[in-house]
Structure 1
Amino acid sequence: MSKVTSAEVAARAGVSQSAVSRVFTPGASASKQTAEKVRKAAEELGYRPNVLARAMVSGKSRIIGLVVAYLENHFYPEAVEKLSNALQERGYHLLVFMASQTAGDVSGVVEEILDYQVDGIIAASVAMSSELTERCHKAGVPIVLFNRSQDTEEVSSVASANVAGGRKVAEFLLAGGHRKIAYIAGWEGASTQRDRESGFVARLQAAGVALHARGVGNFQMQTAAEVTRTMFAEDPPDAVFVANDHMAFAVMDVLRSELGLNVPDDVSVVAYDDVPTAAWPAYDLTTVRQPANRMVAETVALLLAEIDGEGVAPRKIEIDGPLIVRGSARIPEGWNE
């Protein structure tokens, strides 16, 4: 069967071919009567507009490329869904590309994305080198980092206030009387990991409390479980701040199921993200909430402003998130935040 053309739709609807094009072009002007006739004819004939062909003519694909390193962390599938929905509301579609956290792999994936003639790129859970950022700028493709930041002023980024979040956790644990406080880090190449730990340790030091123990979980459940076994083998801490919820679930499983410890009577566990699983009774996890809705809204607004050529300078946006107190950590007396 041959594909139905716009000319056939125009003939059936009794309008010009340009009118058909306007009806199926987002933002183009067409009267309500014309649109109804065209869409009725298109449905009867089984016509679908050729989005790729239109993109070649207009120079706009209305596709946004998303680079993400991993989806095991429940924060990212939720964020991807929110990004996709927010972009669709603005007439754009999300094309997802997976990459590892290595600079070489990210570079290769971004080069591949550019071949798809995307209008913009969102880089989530990956870092962009200055050379790669410059390559995208030369191609006229704006980038926004999501849940990451970089020292460079050349690229926009949106993240939660990670330093402040780490500080909130330290204040909460100190107020609960903890002094043997440990930290399980994520991937050390991530700005989120660096900033959460920085705020956490700085606040402990300001109170005259040294970090009791430290391990690196690399944002992976299995690695975090292994770190927990080692950390609690001798002189165990009485509280642990875990760099994200994903690892914290594994930490809690090991503490309770393998080591026979009570959470929070024997050890308090606090994490970061507040993914839906954190509220499950099985974990009831105290954690810093990443304000995903606001982060997504700011990311989309920044990216589309750059795509529309509004001359906006790159911006770094940090959005504060609250500490959600549940049952996995000792609640300080009189705590009301």
Structure 2
Amino acid sequence: MSATPDPGRTDKVTAQDVARAAGVSRSAVSRVFTPGASVSQKTADKVRAAAERLGYRPNALARSLITGRSRMIGLVVAYLENYFYPEALEKFSHALQAEGYHVLVFMTSQTATNIDAVVEEILDYQVAGIIVASVALSSDLAERCRSLGVPVVLFNRIQDVDGVATVASDNFGGGREVARLFVEAGHERVAYIAGWEGASTQRDREAGFLEGLAAAGVSLHAREVGDFHADTARGAARRMFTDAAPRPDAVFVCNDHMAFAVMDVLRFELGLNVPEDVSVVGFDDVPPAAWPAYALTTVRQRANRMVEAAVSVLLAQIDAPWDAAGREVIDAPLVLRRSARLPEGWI
């Protein structure tokens, strides 16, 4: 049975207290609580027993200030409305904890000034590395991180910045597959609702979609911008299906979060049937896409593989921060459900 720490003690228990109680050196205590450090099992058992008896907890932040390295990873995200990012955040947390790291989450907006300010703040925590999700990074700040030996991985964004690794889905290929679906299903009035136009995901998905249409001799019938927000996407859908004459018979929406809002407008405000009157396709394959209420045909972002790749790249760069950073693109397959008309012969 383990001993209970003395509730009357008010001063903070130190590593030196534990060392005296365990009959070992102060450095031995430090090694026991440093992941990966070399220490015998006998010493580790004595130190942990003394630490539990005294109620000692190691100060990870203080150790990081002394050593200049921590077991913390800074994760920057711009918004959590899209189901994809909370899911990715959970996967990052589990994956990094399995490697002995912990995640510090920082929220920011999509403006370069705010992002740079947040990353500067993260650097004050002596983090071992930084993952930037759904936002871009200035070249100056990327160089500052590199000069400090703090690797940066861009997640779900593609940006040509020296020393910054990138992990993203094949957004271009996914957009092209949506075009192929619409063309082979016989759609003629094809529309697109864009996300935030400063995002590489938006740029590449639209570029792939337009290339796929052009290859088949089909031009875009209508276009609106939803900015990756549900309310903005609803307004875009209302304008698109009221102002465009004749109305579109298929619409590719840049992500699922907006696609759900668009489907609600089409069905419950405008009285249209999906997919009989209009096919709708999204991008991400977040959990609600499979709900019967939406049954959304969409392009799947393989969150597990993307997170695994990002963590692998980051850890490799923590070990060798001066190695060249690369770009990894994960395939993004089309997932067929009931929101889009299927071409003959497709299953």
| 1:275 and 2:286 correspond | yes
| 1:19 and 2:31 correspond | no
In 2, Cα distance between the equivalents of 1:99 and 1:170? 33
In 1, Cα distance between the equivalents of 2:241 and 2:176? 24
Which residue pairs with 1:257 in the alignment? 268
Which residue pairs with 2:173 in the alignment? 164
In 2, Cα distance between the equivalents of 1:216 and 1:318? 26
| 1:209 and 2:197 correspond | no
1:16 shift after superposition: 2.6
Which residue pairs with 1:332 in the alignment? 343
- Matches of residues 52-91 of structure 1 in structure 2 within 5 Å? 52-91=61-100
| 1:123 and 2:135 correspond | no
- Matches of residues 315-326 of structure 1 in structure 2 within 5 Å? 315-326=326-337
Counterpart residue type for residue 311 of structure 2: V
1:153 shift after superposition: 4.3
SS of the counterpart of 1:42? helix
| 1:248 and 2:262 correspond | no
In 2, Cα distance between the equivalents of 1:230 and 1:304? 47
SS of the counterpart of 2:192? strand
| 1:231 and 2:240 correspond | yes
TM-score (norm 2): 0.94
User: Pick from 309, 312, 318: which aligns with 2:323?
Assistant: 312
Q: Which deviates more, 103-112 or 241-250? A: 103-112
In 2, Cα distance between the equivalents of 1:33 and 1:328? 62
Counterpart residue type for residue 342 of structure 2: I
1:15 shift after superposition: 2.7
From the superposition, tell whether residues 178 and 99 of structure 1 become closer, same or farther in structure 2 (CA, over 3 Å).
Answer: same
Do 2:151 and 2:321's aligned partners in 1 also have CA atoms closer than 8 Å? no
1:148 shift after superposition: 0.1
1:118 shift after superposition: 1.4
User: Pick from 109, 112, 115: which aligns with 2:118?
Assistant: 109
Counterpart residue type for residue 213 of structure 1: A
In 2, Cα distance between the equivalents of 1:134 and 1:153? 8
Q: Which deviates more, 108-117 or 235-244? A: 108-117
In 2, Cα distance between the equivalents of 1:273 and 1:197? 14
After superposition, give the CA deviation of every residue in 1:81-139 in whole Å (9 maximum; x if it has no partner).
Answer: 11111111111111111111111111111111112221211111111121221122222
Runs of 4+ off more than 6 Å: none
In 2, Cα distance between the equivalents of 1:153 and 1:200? 29
| 1:96 and 2:105 correspond | yes
Which residue pairs with 2:51 in the alignment? 42
In 1, Cα distance between the equivalents of 2:49 and 2:339? 58
Which residue pairs with 1:302 in the alignment? 313
1:164 shift after superposition: 0.4
Which residue pairs with 2:6 in the alignment? none
After superposition, give the CA deviation of every residue in 1:189-225 in whole Å (9 maximum; x if it has no partner).
Answer: 0000000000000110110000011000000000000
1:166 shift after superposition: 0.4
Which residue pairs with 2:3 in the alignment? none
- Matches of residues 25-36 of structure 1 in structure 2 within 5 Å? 25-36=34-45
Counterpart residue type for residue 268 of structure 1: S
In 2, Cα distance between the equivalents of 1:104 and 1:203? 36
TM-score (norm 1): 0.97
Where structure 2 has 5 or more consecutive residues not aligned to the other structure, the ranges are 1-9
Do 2:150 and 2:321's aligned partners in 1 also have CA atoms closer than 8 Å? no
Where structure 1 has 5 or more consecutive residues not aligned to the other structure, the ranges are none
In 2, Cα distance between the equivalents of 1:113 and 1:156? 18
Counterpart residue type for residue 42 of structure 2: Q
After superposition, give the CA deviation of every residue in 1:156-211 in whole Å (9 maximum; x if it has no partner).
Answer: 10000010000111111111111111000000000000000000001101100000
Counterpart residue type for residue 143 of structure 1: V
1:14 shift after superposition: 3.1
1:310 shift after superposition: 6.1
SS of the counterpart of 2:205? helix
SS of the counterpart of 2:197? coil
Pairwise CA RMSD: 1.3
1:311 shift after superposition: 4.2
Which residue pairs with 2:231 in the alignment? 222
In 1, Cα distance between the equivalents of 2:199 and 2:186? 30
Which residue pairs with 1:290 in the alignment? 301
Sequence identity percentage = 67
